[in-house]
Amino acid sequence: MPATATLTAGQIAFLDDLHYAIVGTLNANGTIQQTVVWYLVEDHHLRFGIGGNSTKARNLQRNPTITVTVAAGVRYLSIRGTAVLEPPDLDLRRRLVIRYRGPEHVEEWLARRPDAPRLSVRVLIEQVYGQQVA
């Protein structure tokens, strides 16, 4: 397992603000696939959910290398790490909906595509760099 980096208090505070993340994975042909995702910080890891049959899922099953960039104006953090694919986590999905849409939208959001295969992703952070985030 790769060595992990610990986020600073300032980095966690920045990531805890409401931003979207751009996730980069490697396609089979070596090109980069990027997607905007909802995320949260948990125990010095980034976590988010993905479709179980998505391009991200296929890419991460083949190669767990991942990048995540969170930007707010001139401030940003870029994270390089290893993605660990985990079983679907309904609690994670609930917390993400509350964070990004509000508690009043949880049941409506979870009712969308209830049978769609899902996975949870935990990013083991190996390197963090950015601008104007201590």
Q: What is the pLDDT of residues 101-111, one digit of tens each?
A: 999 988 888 88
Taken in order 45, 67, 39, 120, the sign of the CA dihedral is negative
Architecture in CATH of 9-131? Roll (2.30)
Whether pLDDT at 5 is above 90? no
Residue type, 36: V
Q: What is the pLDDT of residues 22-63, one digit of tens each?
A: 999 999 999 999 999 999 999 889 999 999 999 999 999 999
Across the chain, how many H-helices and E-strands are there?
4, 7
Q: Average pLDDT of 93-97?
A: 92
**Residue at token pair 């296929």:** 58
What is the distance in angstroms between the CA of the first residue and the CA of the last residue of the chain?
Answer: 27
pTM exceeds cut of 0.95: no
